[in-house]
Amino acid sequence: MKLLIDMNLSPQLVTLLQDAGFHAAHWSEIGNPRATDRTIMEWARKHNYWVITNDLDFGDILAATDALCPSVVQIRTQDVSPNHLNPILNSLLHQYKRYLEEGALIVVDEARSRVRMLPIKLS
């Protein structure tokens, strides 16, 4: 699994995830730090990365476009420091790997995580 860390999360998260055996990159290493969310999503789709973000726009983009990929993990915790997020993400990525491989939006906060399979159908 290849993970793309969005600009709103620390680049230090990349090293922690790599140390845990994941292939991870921060958007600042790849593209323009001022790129739009749509640009980041398109790059992730083309290169088979899953996006990890603290930005609600990524879920909106998935819903508005009926996208089947990329999978997105939306972090909704109060503390987004790398040391706080690392164990949460390690657990979540293993627990929900199958869903992420199929295409999913996973929202995680302090108390729970929720999975929505792609494409997201709005009622």
pLDDT at 123: 61
Helix (H, G, I), strand (E, B) or coil at 107: strand
pLDDT at 55 > cutoff 90 = yes
Cα 61–chain centre separation:
13
pLDDT at 122: 72
What mean pLDDT comes out for the span 61-83?
96
pLDDT at 121: 80
List C-alpha distances in Å: 10 to 29, 36, 50. 12, 18, 16
pLDDT at 25 > cutoff 80 = yes
* pTM metric for this prediction: 0.96
What mean pLDDT comes out for the span 25-54?
97
